[in-house]
Chains A and B, each alone.
Chain A
């Protein structure tokens, strides 16, 4: 019957529908993630025996497969050059593959984190993993998008799954509240983004990033208000995702309320994907409009750096503190974008790479210290952690120091890289503000570090025979692995960063 209908449609004098050729191999990592999610869903409804470790294990395998596919693509792109796929809607260049690798890494680490968390909180199902895998596939689409519509699709795939994940811990009021807030504000910013897409389309006649760039290169618009307004709205939409001030308002509340592993995933994957789209759209597509967006990005970077670091200082909740810290980090990535040079972009990429591991590691520690109920996030909880869990405290120290930008960690190089890119371009004021923000930021990172190394005044309690103030923390093996990987990455590539610097340098955009 269907062929008949199709024949009828075909018969109505319309041209036959031209379906673009889909190059599946080009999108293999994202497709693996989606496939993994689907298999998980089918599995849970078909097979009766479902040991609880299975979901995590399967997600790990999926993440590893995506990582493998990404690496294969990396070498493929390096040898045979970048390619476009699905009728130019996607582009697989070094830049996108760099993000495929990064997102695969977040999937692996987040799956390791999730396992211990879900078991502790008593969640049995695979929903967490399914949502995370789908969300990550959205992140990959954003990174590879060569069309504003595809950016939007990726953004929504990423976000909708994240909204649900944020509210995953349904018994916790904060979690539900975070999901609600994130959803409402996210929808709001998506609308702004979409409006921006429409305006840009109106001004240039295309949503394809390359066509837009070509149009802008070939035509000089005398009245480009519509275009610039569209560009500004795109900046708002993506700026929301990566938590740039003044579009950051959701961040502290959502980071605080969402389950800790989800926060870690959100802080890494979502921010990374948002920046992937932001860097591509602004650096490559709107490169001819550089003089128009550079001052705006300059201003956003300044307020983001300052608000992020100053407000982090007054926080008393570790997750809120790290939320502001992540806002502060976004400011540094913006410094790289603002430079608008190849060095600036590779600096930004290196920053995101370093940041991903630092932030996931930090939230791994936070997940453990949060204990059952995921409720112990006051800074006071960290007092004396070194005495109770020396290794965990050491790992957290590494993450915090790296975020503060201490030499011989990846965090130092990341900051150094973007700031020197700004200096090269003569943005001395921005470099200065970046360093000032680093000085302020060092304060709150070191504050937590010092708290951990100061044992609580437990001497009296012990002598009085009272039980210790804090119960022993349980560190699940999987979380331990995640923390170890993140520490190893942060220290090893802080000491010998050359491979990662090369990685970030070779991740070039297809212009």
Chain B
């Protein structure tokens, strides 16, 4: 019997293959519909698989679906398969679900782009890689998906590579993620050396053989990988820059799905983490610091997407705080609700950008709630959800995390509450600046000519296309997008409002917790606290949210403030980017250039896109002095031989 589980990754793959072959013919919007139906059907398959799994007992719900035997040599066997359990299916459901909505939205958003089919090729490839990542039954398959989503992110961030900033942002994402991947690879080798296998079931069922040191090493190395992918301190620098990509990409990859891969990985290896209190503490502290740090930076951004980008970093920090506190269910819960409301906010922001003809600077927005009612209402729901106002989804998931953090250490809880306040503040600031106040967009400079707050370029390419090929002639007034863009907003808004129902903390209604419990088993920490205690903590979190909103109200509605007053250091993300540039990039570049000059004189320029003519001219120059070279090379060989001889003979003498 063909299992429906296989269809989950197979459908986006099929969509990818079809679009590669026939994308051009399908064109605009045909290619978009092909891609959307591929992932939509994958969502359907996930749902059927979910129903099937419900029919089984809690413990029997983890099923490995073999695909094929990869290596069979001697006694060494490696199988490749899908691991379908509560955790991976939860991931698959929200990845395909949110993914479908964003695919649909993209049909409207990308309309008229000259590479429209290509965009959906990448989106489907991304969906496939992400599903391999979450459904893979071994570290190896997860790693394959991990690299795949990275590559897709790279391709999609640089989708408008005509812009220099987009190309360099893609490069930055790539380099930073290499650091994380190195951690992941080392962890894999350590796992393989210890267990002799990379299968999750084979490894996680035998974690008791691990010594505390090895467990800590594996956990921390995997965490390095997770830091890269999920943009935690100190590897977060690529995510804000990744906002150069088209907005649906920011929503799908850089908010809802890919960046949560690190959290997923941590949840997956929870039995290993449980063996190392040190590793958990490190994770919790890094998570809390990242949450706080990114929230402060988000308060000072003027680019509508960069606010959301730093907000994403901050929310991911919350998830790691949950992981570090042993509250894996809370982490997954927040991951799901965050996917709802952050995707909603990004799509809403995309709608605003679209409506304002690629204006991204919040200083030039305002009073849009009358002109874009659907966007405004849905965005406001997303705002209330992320700010943690009860009863919206974000309140419940954040409350779970803060409860667990309090159990771990009141200090971490304190950082979490302050961050909650900041979150409410910067999101309110955004809503007030965009949807309330005066109509500042009337006086705004034309989009494309203006460099936005964070130095980001605008979707200028899109402006041209939208103007000529898009949705008919429209005046200068901001306008709502087509239904393919508003429908996903409405659906996501309802999810953001009601997502809390997944895991209400009242008695038997903690559905997600019951569902996920068998996966985490003993690794999961249960907080024993009286309900009065819980209510006090919840009240504190809710109160922090309201205070944050009130402050923003005072400043931006009452005070009618639109200009920046935040310290510039916050706007520049505490100068960390500049620090990296000064400490690593410049010396690194100098070093490699120097090394190249010394060792390989023919290289003129280390630049990736080095100008060919320059190289040719340089090569010509160097060829003139050719006679010296063979001699130099021979000298090199002779030198090496001498060193080698010296070493060996010294050994003989010793």
Report A267-308 residues with CB < 8 Å from chain B CB: 292, 295-296, 299, 307
Cβ of B584 under 8 Å from chain A: no
Q: Which residues on A sit within 8 Å (CB–CB) of B596? A: 311, 314
Chain B 157-190 interface 0/1 with A at a Cβ cutoff of 8 Å (1 = within): 0100110000000100011001001100110010
Q: Are A233 and B641 in contact (CB under 8 A)?
A: yes
Report B403-427 residues with CB < 8 Å from chain A CB: none
For B606, give its contact among A313, A450, A496, A498 (CB under 8 Å).
A313
Q: Are B615 and A378 in contact (CB under 8 A)?
A: yes
Interface centre among B155, B609, B630 (most CB of A within 10 A): B630
Cβ of A470 under 8 Å from chain B: no
B216 CB to closest chain A CB (Å) equals 17
Q: Which residues on B sit within 8 Å (CB–CB) of A313? A: 592, 606
Q: Given A192-B641, A246-B640: A311 and B186 within 8 A (CB)? A: no
Interface centre among B154, B606, B612, B641 (most CB of A within 10 A): B641
Interface centre among B141, B603, B633 (most CB of A within 10 A): B633
Q: Are A249 and B636 in contact (CB under 8 A)?
A: yes
For A292, give its contact among B72, B615, B648 (CB under 8 Å).
B648
Q: Which residues on B sit within 8 Å (CB–CB) of A161? A: none
Chain B 636-654 interface 0/1 with A at a Cβ cutoff of 8 Å (1 = within): 1111110111011101110
Q: Which residues on A sit within 8 Å (CB–CB) of B483? A: none
Q: How large, as a class, is the contact surface on chain B?
A: 35 or more
A292 CB to closest chain B CB (Å) equals 6
Cβ of A252 under 8 Å from chain B: yes
State A262–B69 Cα separation when bound (angstroms): 38
Cβ of A247 under 8 Å from chain B: yes
Q: Given A225-B649, A225-B653, A406-B147: A443 and B70 within 8 A (CB)? A: no
A17 CB to closest chain B CB (Å) equals 38
State A359–B70 Cα separation when bound (angstroms): 24
Q: Are A188 and B151 in contact (CB under 8 A)?
A: no
Q: Are A505 and B649 in contact (CB under 8 A)?
A: no
For B648, give its contact among A231, A252, A453 (CB under 8 Å).
A231
Q: Are A457 and B162 in contact (CB under 8 A)?
A: yes
Q: Are B645 and A233 in contact (CB under 8 A)?
A: yes
Q: Are A423 and B193 in contact (CB under 8 A)?
A: yes
Task: Count residues on chain A whose CB falls below 8 Å from chain B CBs.
Answer: 78
Q: Which residues on B sit within 8 Å (CB–CB) of A235? A: 644
Q: Are B595 and A310 in contact (CB under 8 A)?
A: yes
State A360–B652 Cα separation when bound (angstroms): 41
A281 CB to closest chain B CB (Å) equals 15
Overall SS of chain A's interface: helix
Q: Which residues on B sit within 8 Å (CB–CB) of A181? A: 629-630, 633
State A497–B72 Cα separation when bound (angstroms): 8
CB nearest to B21 among chain A residues:
A390
CB nearest to A447 among chain B residues:
B608
B175 CB to closest chain A CB (Å) equals 7
The 8 closest A-B pairs by CB, nearest first: A246-B640, A249-B633, A378-B612, A501-B73, A225-B652, A314-B606, A316-B610, A232-B648
A–B Cβ pairs within 8 angstroms, 23 of them? A177-B623, A185-B633, A189-B637, A229-B652, A246-B636, A246-B637, A247-B641, A250-B633, A252-B602, A295-B651, A314-B596, A316-B603, A316-B604, A316-B607, A316-B615, A380-B609, A419-B189, A443-B175, A446-B174, A454-B158, A495-B68, A498-B69, A502-B73
Listed in ascending order, the chain B residues whose CB lies under 8 Å from chain A are: 20, 68-74, 114-115, 140-141, 143-144, 147, 151, 154-155, 158, 161-162, 170, 174-175, 178, 181-182, 185-186, 189, 192-193, 592-593, 595-596, 599-600, 602-612, 615-616, 623, 626, 629-630, 632-634, 636-641, 643-645, 647-649, 651-653
Listed in ascending order, the chain A residues whose CB lies under 8 Å from chain B are: 173, 177, 180-181, 184-185, 188-189, 192, 223-225, 228-229, 231-233, 235-236, 240, 245-247, 249-250, 252-253, 292, 295-296, 299, 307, 310-311, 313-317, 320, 378-381, 383, 390, 406-408, 413, 419-420, 423, 431-432, 435-436, 438-440, 442-443, 446-447, 450-451, 453-455, 457, 459, 495-498, 501-502, 505
